[in-house]
Amino acid sequence: CEWLQATSRKNIFQVNDLPGAFLPAEAYKSKASGVLACTISRELGEYILFFKPELITTVKWAGNPNKPVEVDEKGAAKLSPRRSFEVWAQEVEGTSEKWTHAELNAVFKLREDVFQFINLKSNEIRKLNEKLKEAYDELDTFSFTISHDLKTPIASITNYAEILLEDAPALDDQSKHFLHRIINSADKMNRLIKEVLGYSKVSRQQLSRRRIEMLPLIEEISTELIAAYKPANLQFKTGEMPDITGDKIMISQVFSNLLGNAIKYSSKSNPSTVTIEGRAEPDNIVYRIADNGIGIEMEYGSHIFELFKRMDNVKDYEGSGVGLAIVKRIMEKHNARIWYESEKGNGTVFYLSFPKDNNELPV
């Protein structure tokens, strides 16, 4: 395809002596001595190719066409007359039958049909994308509105339950227990609403790209998480911390969520080990966050990044199933990638790959 791109700018390119025009074709001349190329996209190197096999022919000459010119004793060049009327025969290899007008017309017609089909499918995909975007925006608006409207009644439930606890000392222990459960459930619902709102806000927020100094950011995040979870036997290990570019608030949310999960789900290991390190590649900065916790069954695949999706082995751990969905959405917004490797019972490793671009941006 590179040879075709450099050789011809035509929509239809034909040759019946390919080995003579493209030397590597000598290796397969028996099957492809002639080529007819129909251009679909020159920029992308997309062609439809037709081949003709080698057709060895015999060319008859009145004399030897390769006979050298003779030089007489005076240094003059001359051609001596033939001494025989014998026909000179020569075998010609590396050529095929010539492409006919019917074949060329058929390929022109095929090209038009392909383009018509591509345009038809492109329009269908464009319309589907527009409908998908509308549905996506409507779902986002619905989630944001419902979550926002639920905050007030949830707050009222919590307030009335606390008032009953404070102003009704005659309540028996069972009634107080029920009221505490109401308050705890309302608090849990409030946290869930807050996370759903956060998930909806990600797509609405504009990126404020800056160069992010990762070492102080990870130090700040780890300090806050350790203070919040108070792990008894945590070994928190760090490696290289190359800077990345992105929205600092969103990137902080990504690393806070993943490091928080690593600390939480490895808390029952002895010792609990969490490691974060980054490396610079030619086009990307890749971070690795590993723990020795409960792990994830790989059969779940990308489902772990779906909203409200929680694995069967995390029922004993508090969570909403929103965090990884937010992480995934933030990474996509940054044109970055996230994937993981895990084995149930043997820990999990998350990988985050950020494009190495805009390094000239200020901190």
**What's the residue count for the chain?**
363
Most confident range, picked from 22-31, 68-77, 184-193? 22-31
Q: What is the pLDDT of residues 149-186, one digit of tens each?
A: 777 778 888 888 888 888 777 788 888 888 888 888 88
pLDDT band at 259 (very low <50, low <70, confident <90, very high): very high
Q: What pLDDT is attached to residue 290?
A: 94
Q: Domain for residue 83, yes or no?
A: no
Q: What pLDDT is attached to residue 155?
A: 81
Strand-pair partners of 286: 279, 353
Q: Pick the last residue of a domain from 204, 238, 267.
A: 204
Could you tell me the CATH number of the domain that includes residue 259?
A: 3.30.565.10
Q: Domain for residue 185, yes or no?
A: yes
- The whole-angstrom separation of Cα 363 and Cα 355 is 17
Q: What pLDDT is attached to residue 239?
A: 94
**Does 179 or 204 have the greater pLDDT score?**
179
**Does 95 lie in the same domain as 159?**
no
**Does 345 lie in the same domain as 282?**
yes
pLDDT band at 325 (very low <50, low <70, confident <90, very high): confident
Strand-pair partners of 52: 34
**Does 269 lie in the same domain as 213?**
yes
**Does 195 lie in the same domain as 135?**
yes
Q: What is the pTM of this model?
A: 0.55
Instruction: Please say if the pLDDT value at position 50 is more than 80.
Output: yes
**Does 336 lie in the same domain as 253?**
yes
List, as one string, the DSSP characters of 285-345. Answer: EEEEEEE-SS---GGGGGGGGSTT---GGGTTS---S-HHHHHHHHHHHTT-EEEEEE-TT
Instruction: Please say if the pLDDT value at position 79 is more than 60.
Output: no
Q: Domain for residue 72, yes or no?
A: no
**Does 185 lie in the same domain as 312?**
no
pLDDT band at 311 (very low <50, low <70, confident <90, very high): low
CB 257 within 8 A of CB 327: yes
**Does 162 lie in the same domain as 55?**
no
Domain that residue 55 falls in: 2-60+88-99
**Does 328 or 304 have the greater pLDDT score?**
328
Say how many domains are in the chain. Answer: 3
Strands in 46-52's sheet, in edge-to-edge order, are 12-15, 34-41, 46-52
**Does 262 lie in the same domain as 229?**
yes
pLDDT band at 70 (very low <50, low <70, confident <90, very high): low
Strands in 337-342's sheet, in edge-to-edge order, are 234-238, 272-280, 284-291, 348-355, 337-342
Most confident range, picked from 4-8, 64-68, 326-330? 326-330
**Does 136 or 270 have the greater pLDDT score?**
270
Q: What pLDDT is attached to residue 314?
A: 66
CB 266 within 8 A of CB 291: yes
Q: What pLDDT is attached to residue 87?
A: 59
